[in-house]
Chains A and B, each alone.
Chain A
Amino acid sequence: MFGEKALELVKELQRSKTGTISAINEDVMRQVLEEMRALFEQNQRDVTLALAGEQLLFSAIQIRHSALERNKRCLLAYLAGRLNYVRETRWQFGSVLPAEVKQNLSEPELQWFNKYSKCLANYMSSIGGHGGLDLTQDVKPPKTLYIEVRCLTDHGEFETQDGSIVLLKKNSQHFMLRSECEHLVRQGFLEHIVH
């Protein structure tokens, strides 16, 4: 049936929504495009006949056309979904992509990511006074300014905003400014302790 392959792509996207993104499925994409080309060529042929007076072909053309449209929409949804994911990753992990995400992205997607990242960085440095404003922090309003963290690995010395130095040694516990250690928590060096 028409459009089945395209639906497969969308389903795959839906499945990967909870975990990490899977590699771009070029194989199925190509199949969908081939299907579309076949449909288009057939329509082309039939349209010329129909114009010549073959009235019965109109409904067939109509069906093929909607199948074409649907395939197109599915493909675009697939790509847009992936881009959405990439954008969210930027907000979550910062400008450096985690390795397992990076290897699953295609070249154009990577380019898009870099451009997006640059755009966002430029924008963030242009607002909020001379230091810029990091929009990726405190996406949700924080409950406290300070949080308690536990070091999971030896990270070495860490300089805080006020210039003092904290030694992040494995299994030591610290009470720190949330904004300072949020990215370290995301990167997995620290663990946020919730009571």
Chain B
Amino acid sequence: MTGGRPCAVCMYYTRRERCHWPTLKEEFFKGMCQRVLVLVAFDVDALCACKILQYLFQCDHILYTIVPVSGREDFERAFVAHSEGIRHVILVNCGATDDIIEMLQPEDNITFFVCDSHRPVDVHNIYNQVQVKLLMRPDELHDVPQFDEVFSDDDEEPEEADDVCEEPEEADDDSGNDSDTSGPVRKKKRVDEQTLEKEREKRLWREARNKRIFEYTEFSGFGTSAALLMFEIAWKMSKDTNDLLWLAILGVTSQYANRQVERDKYIEDIGQLQSHVSRLNNRSEDDSENIISVNCLKITFESELQLTMYRHWSLFESLCHSDYTFCKFKMWSMKGKKRLHEFLADMGLPLVQCRQRFAAMDMSLKETVKDMISKQTEKYSIDEQKLFLPSFHVQFGFKNKFCAMDAVLACEAMLESVSANLTPSDNFLKAGDVLNRSKTECMEKALSQAKMQLQAIVHQVQTFIDMKHQVICAGPFLYAFVTEGTPDASFFSKPTCLCHLAQFTLDAYSTMSHNKRAQNLPLVLGAPQDADLGTMLVVGVPPASDTSRKNFFGKAFEQAAITSNTQMMQDNFDSNVIMLKMDDKSKFFDALISLLQ
């Protein structure tokens, strides 16, 4: 029986290659008027994927309910509240890393379609072919333990109870697959050699399994963006439009902006998107008959300057607040600021022009800024790869021109806006409005919010560097804390913003530090979250020199919490973000240090 399983899985993979939409559609229509529940995580990629999905559903008149979920607890709660009478649930950027069936205990007739970029995917989800269907590229699910390695027929629950449970995720087997569960096997009192041998074998097998599962789940990472996958589904259904393409671009860009994927992967995805862009925007300009109206959405591929929001800010401000230039010129010191001025002088850009809004700059300067900068790259040893990024920008009407990176930042800022009277789900809807083309004023507002957020981040990085010994080297990793009562601390109570701060801090620290090793050290950053509850948010980011973007902190935090016996919540879908009690801080960090040594 076990021999047949992997084969079935392979079959499933090949079937999956043609994507699940036909089955998805078929199943929906079978039960006509069956409502579909869509649970969406709080990130830009998920939001874009969800918007694409919404469009597809509307085309086919499939009824749906969309509920944003901010974390694992919220996820469970939303499922319980909305699952009545639901047969199909689509999970967007949530759920893949947990054993869904175990977590939600759904009824047998509910099917889950999981479109999640979080990796690694839980083995139970992979091998449950009945209730869980993964909408993922099959070639991305590499290094998955073989079925025989993690499941076995005589690995029954009662025996497992005897076993010392070390790994929470291997706690029990999924019931969907094992229909042949027999009654409890009583241990025979007569110990003969055969049973001894059998038990020894079983123990070895279990050890091997634990090791294998640990290896598999050690690093967390990200696969292809959910929005891109959704767009591909739309494309295969011949329902792709420029609007959907733009959403897919935003999804992919957000992954790169949050350093979830390596550059090569990003370039690969962008390459794919570019062919779609040229397919959907192929009107030549001098073709007077086919000229499209200015109000239509036009997407253009371009090598984009990696200066944050410079189109909507002044060039000077943007240079001061961009990650790469900030670290390159060491802008935290007076010397660094002088160097920036020198750089601008070398380029021949008058300061007056740089300080005013980019939109109001001299036309001739505006157009040549990119060339001017690239001419100076050698003198200032600027890495062109880091300052220029192949990306897209979109234009509709005369006024609205946004590049993908800025739109992502704006949307993210809206998702994590810190106004006191707004609930997270309000933010989710507002962020959705930002992506809505007819509401450009939302975009403007979001951009100014993103600027505020970025200023707070840069300010905090400056503080970290000005005050010596704020970033502390603990041997295997660096750590720092945002002190309570900092004016901008509220910004850092949100995971994505805190991640940005951590990455920014790490970049700045590793360029500043005399310690050669700083390049190769990861950073753990904590910030106060809720003063009343006394909780803090802790995030771990991989070293600056590491380009693989793999993160081992999820597992490390989990282990540290167990060994130090502290309460922590891994509520966020990103396992490298945890919530901790303020009082447990030192205990937890001692454990983490000893664990990673």
Contact = CB atoms under 8 A, between A and B. Distances in A.
Contact of B84 (A165, A174, A195): A165
Most central of A165, A169, A174, A175 by chain B CB within 10 Å:
A175
B58 A175 contact: yes
A99 interface: no
Contact of A173 (B33, B65, B85, B436): B65
A171 interface: yes
B428 interface: yes
Interface string A160-195: 001011110111111111000000000000000001
A195 B436 CA distance: 7
A171 B68 contact: yes
Contacts of B57: 175
Contacts, number: 57
B54 interface: yes
Contacts of B64: 174-175
A154 to B, nearest CB: 11
A1 interface: no
A170 B425 contact: yes
A167 B33 contact: no
Interface residues of B, number: 25
B372 interface: no
B325 to A, nearest CB: 38
B429 interface: yes
A157 B65 CA distance: 13
B66 A162 contact: no
B81 A169 contact: yes
Given A162-B33, A165-B84, A165-B85, A171 B428 contact: yes
Interface stretch (A69-77, A121-129, A144-152): A144-152
Contacts of A177: 63
Given A164-B35, A171-B428, A195-B436, A146 B85 contact: no
A173 B438 CA distance: 19
Interface in B385-441: 423, 425-426, 428-429, 436, 438
B75 to A, nearest CB: 14
Nearest to B429: A171
Nearest to B439: A195
Contacts of B63: 146, 174-177
A177 B68 CA distance: 22
Given A157-B84, A175-B63, A195-B438, 4 more contacts: A150-B429, A167-B82, A171-B429, A173-B67
Rank and list the top 8 A-B pairs by shortest CB-CB distance, nearest first.
Answer: A171-B425, A173-B66, A164-B85, A175-B64, A172-B67, A174-B65, A162-B33, A175-B63
